[in-house]
Structure 1
């Protein structure tokens, strides 16, 4: 087998594109073609055993090469998915790198039938972001009073009444569904990770204060039964000292090193944010996805090690791309719970086809089914039954 500009003889030949031999980042001309019915690019010509440079194309998508190029950011300074190759050519909801790899394997088996490939196994990881551990409890007097006044003037009588009942300890806080999530996790035997926002209060970071003992006890309780990760706050995208402070705060609560992370609002900038996580010895990041669209931001459903194009090195930070988020389906796409389950099923099928890793992102708020999440309490449960059906 050879990977070069011209074949040496009659070997299994893949014509190489210059990308993997270059350094730095440049604006590449990309023309989309089809490999059977799958989109691909970096045409390799007739002599190549497959019609495109599968290695360069995979590297381009997984390294997020296009996010290093000049681009317009959204209101939260995030890479806009509508500028991505996957969105423009309508393969965002397909893990094309994994699809290419499976097809490549078939071609190799035809040529080298005696070679044994290791089997891939489907994996599922449920991730829960805890932006607001409680709807009403354990907030400061100023925040609670402000909430009462806001609900009163906006005529939100349901919120006004519920807040009163919860603060008088006559009703459980609606967002406190952690035992339910843990129970479902245990029942369906699924890997679940909780990402806790423990930032100082800002417009975008509105969780209970990490100084509250009840909140700290909740995090410790969760850590006894599931994996816990850091949910770095809105302004940590380029602020390494703030990121370090929040990481130390979580470690002081759990008494274990923090190894997992997901950026709040999915705000990250390549490569700076990931470089800062690596400096803190974070091993896994779960931010790779879009807020406004479901699908595969890096065109893969397989965890991979972040390649830093600035330093031209593979780093020890493992990226776990997620396929969907509850707020994307409900807020950005405006889907009903039933329609959302349909989209979840479609994405799940795509991952099953390539025996990849299916990562979902829900919040305790959506699992509660409270207010704007009415009807969503069953979406999470139904999804788990679909992905991890119980043995009869």
Structure 2
């Protein structure tokens, strides 16, 4: 047990110390404001405050963990070994940076509460983030900082025990539409036919009718392939099915169609199933509740996990809505157009509500790579290279790698050539442990 002395035990301080010490390093932690208790404690201990008490293990604290609400914070990012950090602590501190304050800034998504430019869908852009601007988006810096802290602690306290964790993968399969041509209904099929004709897409028109008449396999129907992969893998896949109503943004399959329902049930026999919330459910808890109940009715079990449509998050409202409906895992935190670590970590963490200043039970699994991002990389060889780089970053800190693939990514559609091989590389990286 690590004892931390501080002048003020705040919810922020308890939240971030428990994340770094316990969730990442496997070390239990407790807190005190009493100097006598701290001095009398004869095991591992450190002081986290402005001034060092004596010769103890000391980390100079930044003000952010003792504040409430949002403030204008001066951030100066500097190099630190192979990574970067901010909130410089000075020479007397055992660590040159206050990693707890810096980690809190990233995990709480402090910057997403501040004024920023959004894209056409209302999303926070990677280019607006401190990680992108200062060139550390590609690293799980919170985990790297935690391991640096561990090294220094072990020098000071050689007998200190840390629980060992192992690299793992959590493959996400996003299903915005289970089929390309099947189960679309007469009006949508007619509309698609007219569109193909006007755009001279005769190949698509040919495939559409061959699939509708059962003479060819629907290109998006890759579920048999994915389930076979699941049977060969020790990592549990997590599917997210869209069952919301048809709209400008969401063009899924009607959840009242029996064949679609039986598909979801079939997948749930082998993999975990979560809800891909529709675009309008992101801001409307009534629609979200309706979709949650529908999914629970289909899979006949309590819904644990969700993923927001278009990876859109409105903090803190999006997460509060999930908490209200007792959905306790979310997989939305990530960037569609940039690979990397939006919250600076590859360790699942609890959502901290900056408005209410409380740690919530909602567990955030940030994703680190979406298949669309790899499309920007030209050759298959280059795709493998960038994939290996991000996997290695996660492996170095024994973290959880979370990639997002879509059902159509495994199709024979030309743009997705080689993606089955890339998915295999990810699965094999988990089999090494």
Instruction: Specify the TM-score bucket, using the shorter chain as the normaliser.
Output: over 0.9
Residue 376 of structure 1 deviates from its aligned partner by 2.8
- In structure 1, the residue matched to 2:154 is 109
Structure 1 stretch 339-348 or stretch 196-205: which is displaced more?
Answer: 339-348
TM-score w.r.t. length of structure 1: 0.96
Residue 105 of structure 1 deviates from its aligned partner by 0.2
Determine which of 101, 126, 132 is the counterpart of 1:81. 126
Are the equivalent residues in 1 in contact too, given 2:181–2:211 (CA < 8 A)? yes
- In structure 2, the residue matched to 1:379 is 422
Residue 36 of structure 1 deviates from its aligned partner by 2.6
* Distance in 1 between residues matched to 2:178 and 2:196, nearest whole Å: 20
Determine which of 14, 18, 43 is the counterpart of 2:88. 43
- In structure 1, the residue matched to 2:9 is none
- In structure 2, the residue matched to 1:96 is 141
- In structure 2, the residue matched to 1:14 is 59
Deviation sequence 1:146-169 (CA, Å, 0-9, x none): 111111221212211111111110
Are the equivalent residues in 2 in contact too, given 1:367–1:380 (CA < 8 A)? no
The residue correspondences of 1:1-392 to structure 2 (distance < 5 A) are 1-330=46-375, 333-388=376-431
* Distance in 2 between residues matched to 1:127 and 1:11, nearest whole Å: 45
Specify the SS of the correspondent of 1:231.
strand
Deviation sequence 1:24-58 (CA, Å, 0-9, x none): 01120000122233211111111111111111001
Are the equivalent residues in 2 in contact too, given 1:369–1:377 (CA < 8 A)? no
Are the equivalent residues in 1 in contact too, given 2:235–2:430 (CA < 8 A)? no
* Distance in 1 between residues matched to 2:200 and 2:85, nearest whole Å: 54
Deviation sequence 1:66-95 (CA, Å, 0-9, x none): 001111111110011111110000000100
Residue 386 of structure 1 deviates from its aligned partner by 4.1
Q: How many residues matched?
A: 388
Residue 375 of structure 1 deviates from its aligned partner by 3.8
* Distance in 2 between residues matched to 1:262 and 1:166, nearest whole Å: 30
Deviation sequence 1:196-215 (CA, Å, 0-9, x none): 00010011100111111100
TM-score w.r.t. length of structure 2: 0.87
* Distance in 1 between residues matched to 2:419 and 2:396, nearest whole Å: 27
* Distance in 2 between residues matched to 1:383 and 1:38, nearest whole Å: 24
Structure 1 stretch 272-281 or stretch 365-374: which is displaced more?
Answer: 365-374
In 2 relative to 1, CA 311–335 (structure 1 residues): closer, same or farther, beyond 3 Å?
farther
Specify the SS of the correspondent of 2:301.
coil
Are the equivalent residues in 2 in contact too, given 1:76–1:267 (CA < 8 A)? yes
* Distance in 2 between residues matched to 1:377 and 1:37, nearest whole Å: 32
Deviation sequence 1:79-131 (CA, Å, 0-9, x none): 11111110000000100000000111000000000111111111111110001
Specify the SS of the correspondent of 1:7.
coil
* Distance in 2 between residues matched to 1:288 and 1:73, nearest whole Å: 15
Cα RMSD after superposing both structures: 1.4
* Distance in 1 between residues matched to 2:83 and 2:153, nearest whole Å: 18
Q: Mind listing any 5+ residue stretches in structure 2 that lack a counterpart?
A: 1-45
Are the equivalent residues in 1 in contact too, given 2:168–2:430 (CA < 8 A)? no
Are the equivalent residues in 1 in contact too, given 2:377–2:383 (CA < 8 A)? no
* Distance in 2 between residues matched to 1:212 and 1:346, nearest whole Å: 42
Residue 272 of structure 1 deviates from its aligned partner by 0.3
Are the equivalent residues in 2 in contact too, given 1:27–1:69 (CA < 8 A)? no
